[in-house]
Amino acid sequence: RKEVEQDPGPFNVPEGATVAFNCTYSNSASQSFFWYRQDCRKEPKLLMSVYSSGNEDGRFTAQLNRASQYISLLIRDSKLSDSATYLCVVNNGGNQFYFGTGTSLTVIP
């Protein structure tokens, strides 16, 4: 079983829409959680860390559900510039980070 799984999408949404992605992880001992954004042919860039109580950064909200072992990312009022692949990253407290394969988002004018 993969450490981290994401729905690959693609998600095609109109500008202004709200879209949510989920990511499940297999190791209940996982301790750190992150969302990254990756543009085509570029390096992944940190979007936000995910904290136990949930956290928000502008139009982006991240939540952690330890009981069901998933994290989520909510994007409100989608912009064309939000088009990218979103990667879920998990660390179980050791020396390895585990990446999902990414969810592709296209925001349509």
Rounded Cα gap, residues 102 and 35, in angstroms:
10
Rounded Cα gap, residues 82 and 91, in angstroms:
25
* Total Cβ atoms within 10 A of residue 93: 10
Please tell me whether residue 45 binds another protein under the rule CB under 8 A.
yes
Quick one: which of 99, 104, 105, 107 contacts another protein (CB under 8 A)?
A: 99
Decide whether 43 or 109 has the Cβ nearer to another protein: 43
Please tell me whether residue 92 binds another protein under the rule CB under 8 A.
yes
Sequence-ordered list of residues with C-beta below 8 angstroms from that of 15, at least 6 positions apart, any chain: 78, 79, 80, 107, 108, 109
Please tell me whether residue 89 binds another protein under the rule CB under 8 A.
yes
Q: Which residues ranging from 46 to 75 are in contact with another protein (CB under 8 A)?
A: 46, 49
**Which two structure tokens, joined as six digits, stand for 96?**
């390895």
Quick one: which of 16, 57, 93, 108 contacts another protein (CB under 8 A)?
A: 93
Please tell me whether residue 32 binds another protein under the rule CB under 8 A.
yes
